[in-house]
Chain A
Amino acid sequence: MEIKQYWRLFKNGIFGENPVFRLALSLCPAVAVTTSVRNGFLMGIAVTFVMTMVNITVSIFRNLINPKVRIPAYILIIATYTSVIDMTMAAYSRAAYKEMGLYIQLIVVFAIIISRAELFASRNKLLPSAVDGFGMGVGFMVALMLIGAVRELLGKGSLLGIPLVGARPMLIMVLPTGGFFVIGLLMGTFNWIEKRFFGGTGAAPGGHGMH
């Protein structure tokens, strides 16, 4: 493949099939941790690492894993890399780990990771798989940081810890309730943008993958 195709593959993860907004997969912990841009960034880094490494590993062993045991094998691979990032985060960013530790450990059951391993990495060569995992991970990170930015701005009146708004912030936005509101409104907005400017149907996303 040429560079251009890799670029397209990478972009697909961020715009075309952004894991949070378009596929609606693995929504579970996405909203929980993103009370600030920084938390969204850290969670995104963790997911990007796990996805890239899992895609690489699955791709390398794709001809050796018996199709009958592939799901347990994938889960084992994902669990291994999740443990790695879990221990790394616990060691190097203690304050953030206290808030997000549970959700970092739950990366292991993110539907998006196993679905990329199954749909992409198990059928493609090493390099495209790595690019696909990285692109999806970055797409996840961008979406989390966007949600985090909205919630931090409205809920704490700051961005990246820098106070911006003078007025009293709406505390509700950093509480769990705010996460649901923000993600619902962002999804609706994305639908509207697509319908208005790209001539899409404006139908709700996430029909698939919501099992």
Chain B
Amino acid sequence: MLNELGKIFIASALINNFVFTRYLGLCIFFGVSKRMETAVGMSMTFTSVMVISAALSWLVYNLVMLPLGLGFLKIVIFIGIVAAFVQAADTILRKISPGLYYKLGIYLVLITTNCIILAVPVINADEKYNFMQALTMGLGSGAGFSLALIIMASIREKLELADVPKVFQGLPIAFVLTGLIALAFLGFSGLIRL
């Protein structure tokens, strides 16, 4: 059981890393990786939202939608769940912990319509994971995304000083750079046997 969960965690964090292998969350990845501080705040917010939305959507999908034969509505319902949860988190956080809200609140707004958040419930539903597996998948994906953001943020701080040809400045060179990191992540693919 634990062994299997560990495999799912490693698979979703390193081997199928959301950014480097599945190409998800690129807009956020390139948008906020300019400063380390923002990258850390962003990865914390994303990881918690991913785990909780994995849990919520698993419950709704398996306990309500499947028994009622509503599987075909999953895109509509998942995006509704994520949006409602993010809105609720925003309100609760503002009331309970204004300090944390001040730090993370701005990232919460960006989350609702983000492919990386929606991908977690969709993958869980497609793979027919059980509850614990779904949670682990959410946590692993969050950890993988955080790792990617932090790696990129630390490289980007150096990139600012580099002498890049003018037409390649900004996004183009960031893409090539991401390609190189993805190449390194390719080395993880033999880590475990699925």
Interface residues of chain A, those whose CB is within 8 Å of chain B, are 24-32, 72, 75-76, 79-80, 82-83, 86-87, 101-102, 105-106, 108-109, 111, 114, 172, 175-181, 183-185, 187-189, 191-192, 195, 202-207, 209-211
Q: Which of A75, A109, A111, A192 has the most CB of B within 10 A?
A: A109
Stretch of B21-29, B61-69, B140-148 contacting A (4+ beta carbons < 8 Å): B21-29
A176 pairs with B20, CB closer than 8 A: yes
Shortest Cβ distance from residue B188 to the other chain A in the assembled complex, whole angstroms:
12
B168 pairs with A191, CB closer than 8 A: yes
In the assembled complex, the Cα of A109 lies from the Cα of B118 at a distance in Å of 8
B110 pairs with A211, CB closer than 8 A: yes
B interface SS class: helix
A24-B171, A79-B79, A210-B30 are contacts. A185–B122 as well, Cβ < 8 Å? Answer: no
Contact residues in A for B186 (Cβ distance below 8 Å)? 175-177
In the assembled complex, the Cα of A93 lies from the Cα of B79 at a distance in Å of 25
Shortest Cβ distance from residue B172 to the other chain A in the assembled complex, whole angstroms:
4
| Per-position 1/0 for B150-174, Cβ under 8 A of A | 0000000000000001111111111
Query: Is B31 an interface position by the 8 A CB rule?
Result: yes
Interface residues of chain B, those whose CB is within 8 Å of chain A, are 20-28, 30-31, 72-73, 75-76, 79, 83, 110, 113-115, 118-119, 122-123, 126, 165-176, 178-180, 182-183, 186
Number of A-B contacts (CB under 8 A): 139
In the assembled complex, the Cα of A190 lies from the Cα of B83 at a distance in Å of 36
A108 pairs with B79, CB closer than 8 A: yes
In the assembled complex, the Cα of A79 lies from the Cα of B166 at a distance in Å of 40
Contact residues in B for A83 (Cβ distance below 8 Å)? 72-73, 75-76
B176 pairs with A184, CB closer than 8 A: yes
In the assembled complex, the Cα of A91 lies from the Cα of B114 at a distance in Å of 27
Task: Considering the complex, give the chain B residue whose CB is closest to the CB of A113.
Answer: B113
A191 pairs with B118, CB closer than 8 A: no
In the A-B complex, list the 4 residue pairs whose CB atoms are closest, starting with the nearest: A204-B170, A184-B175, A180-B179, A32-B23
B178 pairs with A180, CB closer than 8 A: yes
A102 pairs with B122, CB closer than 8 A: yes
A191 pairs with B172, CB closer than 8 A: yes
Contact of B176 among A27, A180, A206, A209 (CB under 8 A): A180
A180-B178, A191-B167 are contacts. A27–B27 as well, Cβ < 8 Å? Answer: yes
B172 pairs with A28, CB closer than 8 A: no
Contact residues in B for A202 (Cβ distance below 8 Å)? 166-167
A79 pairs with B21, CB closer than 8 A: no
In the assembled complex, the Cα of A63 lies from the Cα of B69 at a distance in Å of 35
A-B contact pairs, 22 of them (CB 8 A): A28-B25, A28-B27, A28-B115, A72-B83, A79-B76, A83-B72, A87-B72, A106-B24, A109-B118, A176-B21, A177-B182, A179-B23, A184-B178, A184-B179, A187-B172, A192-B167, A202-B167, A204-B167, A204-B171, A206-B171, A210-B31, A211-B28
A75 pairs with B23, CB closer than 8 A: no
Task: Considering the complex, give the chain B residue whose CB is closest to the CB of A206.
Answer: B171
B175 pairs with A183, CB closer than 8 A: yes
